[in-house]
Structure 1
Amino acid sequence: MKYRQLTKEQFESLHIEFAHFLATQSIDVKEWKLIKKEKPEIAEEEMNIFSDIVWDDVLSKTNYLEHFSKTSVNLFKCNAEEIQRIAIQVKWDVDLLNQEGFEWLMKNPLDNSVDIFKGSKPYNPKRNEEIFDLIEKGSAISKGEIFEYFSQLIK
């Protein structure tokens, strides 16, 4: 397994897609119930394969990630060959996790208490695996507006 198995909630929200996946394996509902009951290891393997397919699809379409903490923000742009990062650190007691703190940062990005760093690096080991690792560590997929805003600001 390349990633991790989808959660129960994720499987439930993708139940139609999972049913189609099982159908491509020539497994109908009746047979799936039998497999789960009599061969749980095969059921587990089918769920793992489906999870990897879903994760690969989501990760391949991911272009931006963001990770917020109380006083810092990490913004990522996921290109084909490399990942770009903008790291923002606020040096006073602001809470970027609440609306007021976030709005302060967006209105005062060039304040003396704000440090902004930009860098990039090739993926290690592979693009989707690195993006998955960042998601597992708390990053969220985004549309990239905040990344692009700060990228223009620090040109």
Structure 2
Amino acid sequence: MKYSRLTKEQFEEMHQEFINFLVSQQIDKKEWDEIKEKKPQVADQELDVFSDLIWEGVLTKAKFLEHYSKNHIFLFSCNETRIDTIVIKSLKQDVDFLSQKGLQWLSDAIFTDEVEVKYGAKDFEGDRNTELFGIIQQGAILSEGTLYGEFKEMLKL
């Protein structure tokens, strides 16, 4: 397995896609129920293959990621070969970017010396999607890139 198995909730949301996947494997409902009961390792393999297909599709389309922590916000822009990163850091320890109050503070303090903003870029060292998946496993979420775009414009990058 290249990525990780989808959660039960994710499988439930993708119920129809999973059915279509099984049909493409020439597995009908009766046969699937039989596989789950008599060959659970084969069922697990099918779930893993489907999960990897879904992750591969999602990661291939991913253009922006965001990761929030108490004192940092990481904004990522990803193209085919490179990832650009804007890091926003609060130099005030009591600010919490995980709260609405902390984000409001950032909005008010962005141009002060209490906020540090850095930019960096690097080429992907290996497989792009695997690297993006690693960032997601560390807590990043997919985004539309609105905040990244605002900071890019503000920093004149």
Please give the range of the TM-score, normalised by the shorter of the 2 chains.
Answer: over 0.9
SS, match of residue 117 in structure 2: strand
Structure 1 runs (4+) deviating above 6 angstroms are none
Q: How does 1:53-132 map to 2 (within 5 A)?
A: 53-92=53-92, 93-132=94-133
* 2:104 match: secondary structure: helix
**1:76 positional shift:** 0.3
User: Which whole-Å CA distance do the structure 1 matches of 2:152 and 2:36 have between them?
Assistant: 50
Q: Quick one: distance in 1 between partners of 2:36 and 2:126?
A: 34
TM-score (norm. length: structure 1): 0.96
In structure 1, what is the equivalent of residue 7 of structure 2?
Answer: 7
**Residue of structure 2 in register with 1:45 after alignment:** 45
**RMSD (Å) for aligned C-alpha atoms:** 0.9
Mapping of 1:12-23 within 5 angstroms? 12-23=12-23
Q: CA deviation at 1:118?
A: 0.3
Query: What 5-or-longer segments of structure 2 have no aligned partner?
Result: none
Counterpart Cα distance in 2 of 1:106 and 1:28: 54
Q: Take 2:52 and 2:124, find their aligned partners in 1: how far apart are those partners?
A: 19
C-alpha separation in 2, matches of 1:144 and 1:109 = 18
TM-score (normalised: structure 2): 0.95
Give the whole-Å Cα distance in 1 for the aligned partners of 2:81 and 2:15. 33
Instruction: Say how many residue pairs are matched.
Output: 155
Equivalent-residue separation in structure 2 for 1:32 and 1:106 (angstroms) = 53
Give the match for residue 150 of structure 1. 151
Give the distance between the partners of 1:58 and 1:117, measured in 2 at CA. Answer: 28
Distance, in Å, in 2 between the alignment partners of 1:2 and 1:106 is: 39
Partners of 1:124 and 1:39 in 2: CA distance = 39
**C-alpha distance after superposition, 1:18-75 (max 9, x if no partner):** 0000000110000000001111111111111100000011111111111111111111
How far did 1:128 drift?
0.6
**How much identity, in percent, do the aligned residues show?**
43
**Do structure 1's residue 26 and structure 2's residue 26 form an aligned pair?**
yes
The residue matched to 2:55 in structure 1 has which SS? helix
Structure 2 counterpart of 1:91, one-letter code? L
